[in-house]
Amino acid sequence: MEMSSKITFFILIGMMLITRGCGCSCNVAFSSYITEASANSQSASMTDGAIIKFDRTEANYGAGYSTSTGKFTAPSSGVYGFTWTFCVDSRTTDGGALNYGEYGTELMRGNSVIGVLHTDTETKLDDACTTGFVIKYVSEGMEVYVRNNYAHQGKILSKENHTRTTFSGWKLYQ
Buried b (16+ CB within 10 A) or exposed e, 100-138: bbbbbbbbbbeeeebbebebbbeeeeebbbeebebebeb
Among 32, 76, 78, 102, binds Ca ion (CB under 5 A): 102
- Which positions from 131 through 170 interact with Ca ion, judged by CB under 5 A? none
E strand segments, 23-165: 29-33, 56-61, 72-73, 78-88, 102-109, 112-120, 128-138, 143-153
122 belongs to the binding site for Ca ion (CB under 5 A): yes
Nearer to Ca ion, 90 or 168 (CB): 90
Query: Cβ of residue 30: shortest distance to Ca ion, in angstroms?
Result: 30
d(CA 121, CA 92): 11
- What single letter denotes the amino acid at residue 152? H
Q: Which residue is nearest to Ca ion (CB)?
A: 102
120 belongs to the binding site for Ca ion (CB under 5 A): yes
Q: Which of 2-10, 54-62, 92-100, 158-166 is the region at the interface with Ca ion (rule: CB under 5 A)? A: 92-100
Among 72, 100, 145, 167, binds Ca ion (CB under 5 A): 100
- Which H or E run includes 155? none
- By CB under 5 A, the count of residues binding Ca ion is 4
Q: Which of 19-27, 50-58, 68-76, 94-102 is the region at the interface with Ca ion (rule: CB under 5 A)? A: 94-102
**9, burial (CB in 10 Å: exposed 0-12, middle 13-18, buried 19+):** exposed
Query: Cβ of residue 110: shortest distance to Ca ion, in angstroms?
Result: 31
d(CA 40, CA 67): 16
89 belongs to the binding site for Ca ion (CB under 5 A): no
Nearer to Ca ion, 66 or 90 (CB): 90
Query: Cβ of residue 99: shortest distance to Ca ion, in angstroms?
Result: 6
Query: Which residues contact Ca ion (rule: CB under 5 A)?
Result: 100, 102, 120, 122
